[in-house]
Amino acid sequence: MSSQHPTQCQGDKKKHALAELADLLKKHPEKTRKSLLQEVQIKFDLTPKECEFLNKNFQGGQHV
């Protein structure tokens, strides 16, 4: 069993998702931010609120 609290896991998930989004935006400038955000949402099983948070707080590239 892990000694981490669920909130710590949630934060780690968001950090990894944010890093993935930044990487995808650099690697695939031809794709829309929205489509890349959807990929990250699926890969990291993000809630709509978590996705909205990433979209609002990460301004790396075009805005949806």
**For residue range 17-64, what is the model confidence (pLDDT) as tens digits?**
999 999 999 999 999 989 999 999 999 999 999 988 888 887 764 444
Residues constituting the chain = 64
The overall pTM is greater than 0.85: no
Please answer whether residues 40 and 21 qualify as being in contact, where contact means their C-beta atoms are separated by less than 8 angstroms: yes
Residue ranges of the domains in the chain? 7-57
Pairwise CA distance, residues 2 & 54, whole Å: 26
